[in-house]
Amino acid sequence: MAEISALYPQGAGRGCKADKSATTTLYPPTTPYASGMLETAGIHRIYWETSGKPDGIPVLFVHGGPGSGTSPRQRQFFDPARYRIILFDQRGCGRSTPHGELADNTTPHLIADMEALRRELDIDRWLVFGGSWGSTLTLAYAEAHPERCLGLVLRGIFLCRRSEIDWFLEGIRAFFPEAQRQLAEFIPAGERDDLLAAYHRRLVDPDPAIHQPAAYRWATFEASCSTLLPNPELVSAFGSEQTALSLSRIEAHYFVNDIFLPENSLLDHVNRLRAIPAIIVQGRYDAACPIVTADELTLAWPEARYVIVANTGHSAFEPGIARELVAACDRFAASGGFG
């Protein structure tokens, strides 16, 4: 699922604790001191940037979607006086090119990009921070390369199993019936028994007259279900042509292919994570990535610290969740753990 950031108010304070007001939770905006395009063996070029302290603790921000891309506000979870903050746009989205490209766009490719970026930036080990789909990819990366992870900060757990995809497209109507009805009714009645397949056919069609309306409907549906309280401005932003296309097309591509991993792979290999300091921050009323998935993960992985945030939905920028994420990163910078 997508990260949501651009339309929330900018934070003004530094390193505030979990009891501070929403307007002083995040660190001030920072400007990258370096950026570039990571070349791959194929057609993809991956945008990356670094900000904060050049010799600070390396932290990699793994954005949601897949397909949403990064935004400047995502730098603000981290103290720029202590962290070397690294953002990158995954294949086909944000400032990476080609935009919306599905060829050679799989979870193993994204893991390989993360490793290539680590080597490009001459980093031995880093803290990895991911929410929503970012939690999926962070877990997959950490299970493949546990020796490269100083720690993990996870939010809004999404393991991308078939049951979770079915919930997102169908079951979520228990909480957002109007939004889900609009998603379903875009598709002719004869195709509604498999919304994922119906949308995927349209989203991969090369004709903009076919793929763009489907992209708009998918992306605005997701935005409608991703905050505890309605946010019309966010829905409008997700409906923009570029964001809607990369988000919906790449999500549908990953979903129809079961994220290119065996079913339940992430839970089945959780033993590889036990030695890595980790925290899981979950909104109690997250409808996009329901808390039951985080609960299952923590039962399988009791070594991870688990924080449930009341009165919040899915977004990392809802005040309670943002406070816990900033506090976790501050604790890690101070002690190398999350206790």
Q: What are 19-71's pLDDT values in tens digits?
A: 333 345 899 999 999 999 999 999 999 999 999 999 999 999 999 999 999 99
**Identified catalytic residue from 44, 211, 314, 330:** 314
Q: Check if 314 is active-site.
A: yes
pLDDT surpassing 80 at residue 137: yes
pLDDT at site 21:
37
For residue 339, what pLDDT band results from cuts at 50, 70 and 90?
Answer: confident
Which contacts qualify for 305-309: CB closer than 8 Å, 24 or more apart? 305/278, 305/279, 305/280, 305/338, 305/339, 306/279, 306/280, 306/282, 307/279, 307/280, 307/281, 307/282, 308/282, 308/283, 308/284, 309/281, 309/282, 309/283, 309/284
- Please compute the mean of the pLDDT values over residues 8-22 and round it to a whole number: 32
Please report the pLDDT score of residue 227 as a whole number. Answer: 77
Catalytic residue among 96, 132, 224, 246: 132
